[in-house]
Amino acid sequence: MNREELIGQVKEEYANIRFSENQQHFHNTQAGITPEAYYNTLMQTVIGEINNGKFDHCRSGREIVNKVSADKSLLPEW
């Protein structure tokens, strides 16, 4: 899959997460930042890494989002 397709899928995945009705846990664990701001920053960081080729082996945006969710150390700036 090409990088532009992956970026489009990642944007969609994070949009779904950001606007999920089930974000109450976020407010309980992350003081001072909204879910929208957190996921937007995370998404921009992931997109940067996609552009750098870090996730070229991934088959979908969902796979990337799941990998990052499980291991934030994949993102050097995080």
Domain count for the chain: 1
pLDDT in tens, 28-71: 555 677 778 888 999 999 999 999 999 999 999 999 999 999 99
| pLDDT confidence band for 25 (50 / 70 / 90) | low
Global confidence as pTM:
0.85
| Contact indicator for 61, 12 with CB cutoff of 8 Å | yes
pLDDT for 29 equals 55
Tell me which residue range forms the domain holding 24.
3-74
Helices (H) and strands (E) in the chain, counts: 4, 0
Residue 68 has a CB neighbour count (10 Å cut-off) of 21
pLDDT for 26 equals 59
pLDDT for 24 equals 56
